[in-house]
Amino acid sequence: MKKIIATSIVAAALISGSAFAANAQTGMVMGGNLGYTMPSGDFKNIGNNQNYFGPNSGANNKNGNIAGGLFAGFDYAISPMFSLGAEVGVQYANQFAKYSLANVSGKANLLSIPLFLVGKFYIPGVDGLNVFGKAGYAYNQLGVKVEAAGVKTTINDNRFDPVVAAGVGYKIGQANIFAQYQYNWLKYQQDSATPKLKGGLSTISLGLSYTLPM
């Protein structure tokens, strides 16, 4: 009888440990993502914005392009179903807004360094399936490359702005495959004589992360 009880306890511990390993984990996290981003607010159809050529200028606008990044962080498993953590990354949105009119053209790019607080919840009964949310601030270097009459200039505006993200993932061993939606609030001002542009970037991406358990 004692052997049966001891065996049962060991088996239960192993099952519990296996479930824990398959879901929330404490450890270093690293990964990357790649997707598509679209501007909003003043950054959408930027060539027809009144701060540039005027709303009826007839400028040719193109919105949206690829965006992606790398990140690293740390997760702390509060329970087999829930973890809290922090994450820092480097992200780049390439030519997310472009405009051209006569002999003038411009291309907007964003280099962003976000710092997130991260919460992950693992769905009970579906091993590995998880949802997550992120909130924080990003150091944004938003630059517009302008070409006028053959002369090229780049005007950068560096600011700290809020950023949020949410998504769903599926964990296989130490790896987590995920889909994510992210929104970056943005502001941009060429100089003190021009009005400030306000808007944001919406990015949908796919990514992969890996946890080094501790």
Pick from 71, 91, 64: which is nearest to 161 by CA?
Answer: 91
Q: Spell out the CATH class of 2-213.
A: mainly beta
Measured distance CA(90)–CA(154) in Å, rounded: 21
What are the angstrom distances between the C-alpha of 170 and each of 24, 132, 164, 176, 182?
Answer: 12, 11, 20, 5, 18
Q: What is the pLDDT of residue 191?
A: 79
Q: pLDDT by residue (tens digit) across 45-70?
A: 776 665 555 555 667 888 999 999 99
Q: How do the domains of the chain map onto residue ranges?
A: 2-213
Q: What is the pLDDT of residue 192?
A: 79
Q: What is the pTM of this model?
A: 0.84
Whats the size of the chain, residue-wise?
214
Q: pLDDT by residue (tens digit) across 91-104?
A: 999 999 988 887 88
Q: What is the pLDDT of residue 106?
A: 86
